[in-house]
Amino acid sequence: MSVLPVAVIGAGPVGLAAAAHLHERGLPFVVLEAGDGPAEAVRQWGHVRLFSPWRYDIDAAARRLLTAAGWVEPDAEQLPTGGQLAADYLQPLADLPELKPHVRYGARVVAVTRLGLDRLRTAGRDQVPFLVRLAGGTDVLARAVIDASGTWSTPNVLGASGIPAHGETEAAAYIEHALPDVLGADRDRFAGRRTLVVGAGHSAANALLVLADLATQVPGTEVTWAIRAATPARTYGGETADALPARGAIGTQLREHVAAGRIQLITGFAAGSITVLPEGAVEVSDGSRIVVADRIVSATGFRPDHGFVAELRLDLDPVLGSTRALAPLIDPNEHSCGTVPPHGADELAHPEPGFYAIGVKSYGRAPTFLLATGYEQARSVAAALAGDWAAARDVQLDLPETGVCSSNPVTIQESSQESSQESSSGGGCCG
C-alpha cells in the first residue's frame, strides 16, 4: 500500500522550502498551488526590492538541492527585488526534478478536514487521513498538512476598528492594497494626483517613498500619510542603528521627505468613513478631520484566512490568530522582527495532529515575520513529521536586529492593524 504524502499548501518561498526539507527527509509530498506557477504572490510585488540581502532569502535545503544541480547562487550581499527572488531562486527551485513532479498548479485548496470525520468526532481521529479538497472538486488524501498559503489575498480593511469604514465597500474602486507599482505599471493612476497612504508598516513606507519620488517628477502629485499613532517614530525605526542598512535607510528617507514637505503627515488619524465625491475623488474622515484624495493606498496589513481549515481542531490565540503557544513569542508589543525567539514544530502544533501552519500565516496578524524564520519553521516541521524530534527541537535563528519593526510597546492608537506584514508567501519586503 502506498504511503500518503504530506500536503503542502502554497508554492511560495516557505512552501517550497518545506518541500525541499521533506525531500531531504525522504518523505513523499505534494505541493498544492492556486496560481499558475511558483511564487504567484511574490510576483505581484515583484517591483519591490527586499531590504534583506540574498544570504537571508535562501533556504538551506533548497540551496543544497539547487547547488547540486549546478545553480549559481546570487551575490549574498545583494538586495533582490520580489521579481528576482521569484525568477532567480524560486522558479529554478520549483523546476528541479526532485520537486517539479510533486507540484500541482491551479490547485486552489477550499477545505481541509479528516476523511469521514468532522471536527466533533474524536475516536481514532489521528489514524484517519486528512482530506484536502480543491476548488475543482478533486480530493487529495494526505498523512499531514503544512499550510504555507500566506496572507496576501486577505488584506486588512481601511477602517480603524477592524471592520470596513462606512462607505469603504462603495469606494473600493479608489482603494489600492499594499504595494502598487507606482513608478511602473500603475504610474498613471498616481501621477499628478492626490494620494492618501494609510498605515505605518513597511508597505506604507515603501509606497510613500516611491510616491515622493513620483512627486518630484510630475507636478501636481501630492502625497498625504495618515497614521493612528501620535508620532511616526515607530515607522522611522532604528535608521542608522539597524543591522540591515537598507531597512534602516527606509526610515531615514521617510523622515527627510516629511521634513521637506514632500509628504504631508497626519497623526492620530483613525479612518471612520469614506465618501465618494461627484468629481471622482474621495473624502476620508476620522470624525473631526477630512482628507480629500484621488487614490487611497490601504497599507494596513494582512490577516490569516482560517476559513478553509475550520473543520480542524485549531488552538488559535484570540488576539493574533497564531497558535496560542507562539503568540507571546511574536507579540509586536514585545518583539521586533529580529528579537523573536527561536521556535519550531512544538510552538506551531495544534490539537489536530499532523497539521501545521508555517510562514507568514503562522504569525496571524503579527507583523514581526521574517523569511529566515519561515525557513527554520519548515526545517523543524519536516523533522517532526519524520519523527526526528531532536532535530525538530534544535531550532536556531540568525536574525538581524530590526529597525522599522520596533520592539517598543505601542500606544493604544498603534494597533497591529497599522503594522503591515509584507507578503503572503513568506517575507516580502520584510525579507
Tell me how far CA of residue 354 lies from CA of 5, 363, 377, 384, in angstroms: 12, 18, 14, 9
pLDDT confidence of residue 166 = 97
Name the burial class of residue 200, with classes exposed (0-12), middle (13-18) and buried (19+) by CB atoms within 10 angstroms of its CB. Answer: buried
pLDDT confidence of residue 246 = 61
- Name the one residue in this structure whose C-alpha cell is 502544533: 349
Pairing outcome for strands 282-285 and 290-293: antiparallel
Sequence-ordered list of residues with C-beta below 8 angstroms from that of 171, at least 6 positions apart, any chain: 274, 275, 276, 282, 296
Per-residue pLDDT of the chain (431 residues; tens, 9 = 90+): 479 999 999 999 999 999 999 999 999 999 999 999 999 999 999 999 887 889 999 999 999 999 999 999 999 999 999 999 999 999 999 999 999 999 999 999 999 999 999 999 888 899 999 999 999 999 999 999 999 999 999 999 999 999 999 999 999 999 998 899 999 999 999 999 999 999 988 889 999 999 999 999 999 999 999 999 898 887 786 555 555 556 667 888 999 999 999 999 999 999 999 999 999 999 999 999 999 999 999 999 899 999 999 999 999 999 999 999 999 998 887 766 667 788 999 999 999 999 999 999 999 998 878 899 999 999 999 999 999 999 999 998 776 654 333 322 223 233 333 333 333 333 333 44
pTM of the model: 0.89
Q: Which residues of 50-61 are buried (b: 16+ CB within 10 A; e: fewer)?
A: bbbbbebbbbbb
DSSP state of 52: S
All structural domains of the chain: 6-154+302-430 (3.50.50.60), 172-298 (3.50.50.60)
pLDDT confidence of residue 277 = 97
